[in-house]
Amino acid sequence: MIGAEEYLAPHELGSLGLGGCGRNVFISRRAVIANPAKLFLGSHIRIDAYCSIIGREPVRLGDNCHVGSSVSISASAPVQIGSYSGIASGARLFTADDDYSGSYLTGPTVPPESTGVKTAAIEIGSFCVVGANAVLLPGTIMEEGAVVGALSLANGRFEGWAIYGGVPAKRLKERTKGALRLVEQLGN
């Protein structure tokens, strides 16, 4: 059972100025949301302690999503997370990445025209899981039911209902679609 004092009360959620907020939403008092007007939450959401959701572009979470402790979501481009998906503790979602080839300067203290930053949206479908301490790079697309395992580095498109892992993440095995039956049984 989660303690009420750990999460913002409904009236506090209302005062954040979120772009959208469903019902039964729990955001830890220790989470950092730098641009709340760009955060759109479905219903039955939980965002745990020490998460940071920063950036100038929209971040959208479908219904029944969980964002574990110490997750970072950097939204220099849009981030979409489908319903019934989870982002495990320590995962990092980056929509922008420096060019480390030596052809450009890096970091936020140099003029943008001197950098070769790649910026691209991240799309996570419904019924997906991003494992603990996994990293998703700009442009990563996880189709419905895809899983990227713990400590993995994801870059590119990941086909649905399969489990991926490693650095870089590679397809490991198929995943069953039993979750779909469970949602049907719940009537959602």
Radius of gyration, alpha carbons of the chain: 17
Please name the residue that has the structure tokens 């009420």: 4
- What's the pTM value of the predicted model, to 2 decimals? 0.94
162-165 and 170-174 beta bridge pairing? antiparallel
Each residue's pLDDT tens digit, 8-54:
999 999 999 999 999 999 999 999 999 999 999 999 999 999 999 99
Buried b (16+ CB within 10 A) or exposed e, 158-169: bebbbbbbeeeb
Q: Are the C-beta atoms of 15 and 34 separated by less than 8 Å?
A: no
Give 103-156 pLDDT, tens digit per residue.
999 998 999 999 999 999 999 999 999 999 999 999 999 999 999 999 999 999
Q: Which amino acid is at 122?
A: I
Amino acid identity of residue 26, one-letter, is F
Find all residues with CB under 8 Å of 93, minimum gap 6, and list them. 71, 72, 73, 74, 79, 87, 122, 130, 136, 140
